[in-house]
Amino acid sequence: MTMVSIRTPDDWHVHLRDGAQLTQTVAATARCFARAIVMPNLVQPVCTVEAARQYRNRIRSASPSGAPFQPLMTCYLTDDTDPGEVAAGYAAGVFTACKLYPAHATTHADSGVTNVRRIQPVLATMEKIGMPLLIHGEVTDADVDVFDREAIFIERVLTRMVQDFPGLKVVFEHITTAEAVDFIRECRAQIVATITPHHLVINRNAMFQRGMRPHAYCLPVAKRERHRVALRKAATSGLPRFFLGTDSAPHPRAMKESACGCAGIFNAPVALEVYTQVFEEEGALDRLEAFASEYGPRFYGMPPNRDRITLKRNPWQVPDVIEIGRQAVVPFLAGETLVWRLDTNRGRRLQELAP
Ligand SMILES: NC(=O)N[C@@H](CC(=O)O)C(=O)O
Ligand SMILES: [Zn+2]
Ligand SMILES: [Zn+2]
């Protein structure tokens, strides 16, 4: 196969950041994705309808002309979130979903939820109005090994939550374990998961390749090889419960290459190309379109995009660094050669991003 043409995909989990970074982050996502679920973990978390409305305006202003892009906003849940605010934002078409960060679980999660008991009224409201809950699914207990945090979250939090709220729509985001794959397969259809390109490609060895590799560090952290294999099976299974969410999360190079490096991988410049390669390697190119462009909108009750994008087999080298808001950011697979290349109007924007 030398060409792949699919309905234009969407990214159901992305960090666009803010301010001067928006020009490049939005361009890197809009080059191939028509819509994206925008994470609310800004330095000042997006907790109100007004904050989300303003953030959405800033994203729209930064969107490149010629590549229509629709940001879908999320509400950052805290212990004090008002169910009325959530419902009002959803009714107004500002919030598409709410985001649950267990407090301190990841980047800018310090205002997150300390105990899910605190947000029961919010969850009850969301269940009633059909609003999806997006979850960073890791416990933060100091006694739990960092590699077990997702599996233990299923046991201690998620299993109970989906029972207590049998009508709640849930996205278990950026799953990294065979346990999460099994959990989703066994749940009801409204419990789904997103899978990132990096967790399909790297296992935990990537962080320790002849030295410490901060650019392979993200949360949830990559796991053993058997988990990567389970994720590849799930993504390419054709089951509508698994769909695309890149978790592209840029951090300045200096913040990654540090004594206490930030968690997050900037993959927007390569995400779709990497998914395509993975599906090809798994002999499942015929299932790429559903994973990337159909199951997400179906879950969210939105129509799939009508236009198409094309990738061609045309090897190219990923830039070593990309400038984001005047700061150098090292993208996922920097310096490596990818076999698939975007071949559309949206696709031209990557070259503009390279320094
Ligand atoms: N994935 C990450 O490692 N980091 C994300 C936060 C998140 O999605 O957990 C970020 O905002 O940098
Ligand atoms: Zn997360
Ligand atoms: Zn994320």
DSSP of 133-161, one letter per residue?
Answer: EEE------TTS-GGGHHHHHIIIIIHHH
- Alpha carbons 255 and 325: distance in angstroms, whole number: 14
pLDDT at position 66, please? 76
Residue 83 in this model has a pLDDT that exceeds 50? yes
The single-letter code of the amino acid at 196 is T
The single-letter code of the amino acid at 165 is F
Among residues of the chain, what percentage have pLDDT more than 70?
A: 97
For range 140-152, the mean pLDDT:
97
CA–CA–CA angle 175, 178, 181 (5° rounding): 60
For range 89-101, the mean pLDDT:
98
Ligand showing the shortest atom-to-Cα distance for residue 265 = 1
Mutate to test the pocket of ligand 1, among 74, 175, 219 (most ligand atoms within 8 A of CB): 219
Pocket around ligand 1 at a 6 A CB cut-off: 15, 41, 106-107, 136, 218-219, 247, 249, 263-264
Residue ranges of the annotated binding site for substrate are 15-17, 41, 136, 219, 251, 263
Q: Token pair for residue 196?
A: 């990132």
- Alpha carbons 168 and 163: distance in angstroms, whole number: 9
Average per-residue pLDDT for the chain:
96
- Alpha carbons 148 and 86: distance in angstroms, whole number: 32
pLDDT at position 346, please? 59
CATH of the domain at 37: 3.20.20.140
Q: Token pair for residue 36?
A: 């994206």
Set 247, 286, 320, 343: catalytic member: 247
pLDDT at position 353, please? 46
Task: For residue 265, report the distance from its CA to the centre of ligand 3, in Å.
Answer: 9
pLDDT single digits (tens) 246-272? 999 999 999 999 999 999 999 999 999
Domain count, the chain: 1
**Cβ atoms 6, 342 nearer than 8 A:** no
- Alpha carbons 160 and 293: distance in angstroms, whole number: 31
Mutate to test the pocket of ligand 1, among 21, 37, 107, 266 (most ligand atoms within 8 A of CB): 107
Residue 345 — pLDDT band, cuts 50, 70, 90? low
Residue 325 in this model has a pLDDT that exceeds 60? yes
Q: Which residue range forms the structural domain that includes residue 169?
A: 3-353
CA–CA–CA angle 31, 33, 39 (5° rounding): 110
Task: For residue 64, report the distance from its CA to the centre of ligand 2, in Å.
Answer: 26
pLDDT single digits (tens) 33-67? 999 999 999 999 999 999 999 999 999 999 988 77
For range 294-301, the mean pLDDT:
98
pLDDT at position 52, please? 98
Residue 350 — pLDDT band, cuts 50, 70, 90? very low
**Cβ atoms 107, 218 nearer than 8 A:** no
User: Is 247 among the residues known to form the active site?
Assistant: yes
For range 300-304, the mean pLDDT:
98
Other Cβ atoms closer than 10 A to 57:
11
Record the pTM: 0.96
Task: For residue 165, report the distance from its CA to the centre of ligand 3, in Å.
Answer: 24
Task: For residue 76, report the distance from its CA to the centre of ligand 3, in Å.
Answer: 12
Other Cβ atoms closer than 10 A to 6:
21
3-state secondary structure of 336: coil
**Cβ atoms 52, 40 nearer than 8 A:** yes
Residue 68 — pLDDT band, cuts 50, 70, 90? confident
For range 93-110, the mean pLDDT:
96
* Atom 11 (ligand 1) nearest CA: 107
